[in-house]
Amino acid sequence: MRIAEVGDLAMLQLPNNKQTIFKLEADREYQTHKGSIFHNDLIGSPWGRDVETHLGTSYVFLPPTLHDLVRNTRRISQIIFPKDIGYILLRLSIGPGTRVLEAGTGSGALTTAFAWMVGEHGKVYSYDRREDMQDLSKQNLERVGLMDRVEFTLQDIADGIAEKDVDAVFLDLPRPELYLSQIHEVLANGGVLGTILPTTNQVSAFLRKIEEEHFDSADVAEILLRFYKPVAERLRPTDRMIAHTGYLVFARRMHTK
Ligand SMILES: C[S@@+](CC[C@H](N)C(=O)[O-])C[C@H]1O[C@@H](n2cnc3c(N)ncnc32)[C@H](O)[C@@H]1O
């Protein structure tokens, strides 16, 4: 049986799917706007049970998944959505031990997923030129206990990138085509570069540049995800969906002499 322990991340979920995530610490009290819960009543108890606040509101007590952590990223920028992050992780082949570089950090949603996936022996190098963004993403990474897997650099990537031979690069910033020569210096031969762009004309501008900067095998995709109302007797799609987030573009770094 899986039991919640001191130091674990815990999540309380309401029936409307509202979630709240926090770290379990002895003798602490967690305040929700629907009443408080003592951590000591959760520590040592099984995951996946109902718990009640002192005001009688019932929550489901769960260990957060990576999807929950990304969804609950505190944000002051647009973040990359979980549906896109899942595919990015596969295309960039992010796993234990990977060294991945990203710019910009933004609120750190993608950083969180990278940090989770690279494990204890991998590293995420994250650049942003805005201090407020990096401060928030540091808080977000600290909150989920993944801070030691990330090296943050407060710098415009136009002013250089210190790392060499990284396994993969992801750019989530306007006009990524401006930085292709820097990325070529940083990415290992054959490594994958990915980017996300909100409009097709930005994708065209990127595609026009990649070959002359020695990247190859480009492809462009968008991910459409449709949720269903989970009612067995009347199973049908939900009324609304997120129709557009961004276009994903991937390319491989070619060797040059
Ligand atoms: C949309 S946000 C990134 C969101 C992030 N991927 C996430 O999932 O939370 C774009 C970020 O790129 C940063 N940025 C834009 N141009 C940059 C540059 N040339 N060098 C470094 N950071 C840059 C901005 O400051 C901003 O924080």
Which CATH number belongs to the domain containing residue 48 in this structure? Answer: 3.10.330.20
Q: Look at ligand 1, atom 26, and give the residue with the nearest C-alpha.
A: 106
For a substitution probing ligand 1, which of 67, 92, 133, 196 has the most ligand atoms within 8 Å of its CB? Answer: 133
State which residues form the domain around 200: 67-253
Determine the distance separating the centroid of ligand 1 and the alpha carbon of 77, expressed in angstroms: 8
Tell me the residue type at 80.
I
pLDDT at position 6 is 97
Considering the domain architecture, whether residues 108 and 132 belong to the same structural domain is answered as yes
Domain final residue pick, 45, 64, 83: 64
Residue of 86, 98, 111 whose CA lies nearest to 192: 98
Task: Judge whether 83 lies within some domain.
Answer: yes
Which residue's CA is minimally distant from atom 27 of ligand 1? 106
Domain shared by 73 and 17, yes or no: no
DSSP string computed for 33-67: TTEEEEHHHHTTSBSSEEEE-TT--EEEEEPPPHH
In a domain, 131, yes or no: yes
- 36 located within any domain: yes
Q: Kindly report the protein residue whose alpha carbon is nearest to atom 1 of ligand 1.
A: 78
Give the pLDDT confidence score for residue 185 in this predicted structure.
96
pLDDT value for 15: 83
Are residues 140 and 43 part of one domain? Answer: no
Residue 84 falls inside a structural domain:
yes
Alpha helices (H) along the chain: 39-42, 66-71, 82-91, 109-118, 131-143, 180-186, 200-210
Question: Which atom of ligand 1 is nearest the CA belonging to 107?
Answer: 9
Q: Give me the CATH number covering residue 102.
A: 3.40.50.150
Count of beta carbons in the 10 Å neighbourhood of residue 233: 4
pLDDT at 17: 83
Regarding whether 126 and 200 lie in a shared domain, the answer is yes
Beta-strand relationship, 58-62 and 49-52: antiparallel
**Residue linked to tokens 């989530």:** 172
List the pLDDT tens digit at each of the 257 positions of the chain. Answer: 999 999 999 999 998 888 999 999 999 999 988 899 999 999 999 999 999 999 999 999 999 999 999 999 999 989 999 999 999 999 999 999 999 999 999 999 999 999 999 999 999 999 999 999 999 999 999 999 999 999 999 999 999 999 999 999 999 999 999 999 999 999 999 999 999 999 999 999 999 999 999 999 999 999 999 999 999 999 999 999 999 999 999 999 999 86
At 178, list the tokens: 């401006």
Atom of ligand 1 nearest to the CA of 178: 19
| Residue where a domain stops, chosen among 64, 83, 107 | 64
Last residue of a domain, one of 49, 64, 79: 64
Q: Does residue 130 have its Cβ closer than 6 Å to ligand 1?
A: yes
Q: 242 and 134 in one domain?
A: yes
Query: Does residue 155 share a domain with residue 74?
Result: yes
Check if 246 has its Cβ closer than 6 Å to any atom of ligand 1: no
The number of distinct structural domains making up the chain is 2
pLDDT tens for each residue of 136-150: 999 999 999 999 999
Q: Both 174 and 205 in a single domain?
A: yes
Residue whose CA is closest, atom 25 of ligand 1?
Answer: 130
Q: Which tens digit of pLDDT belongs to each residue from 113-140?
A: 999 999 999 999 999 999 999 999 999 9
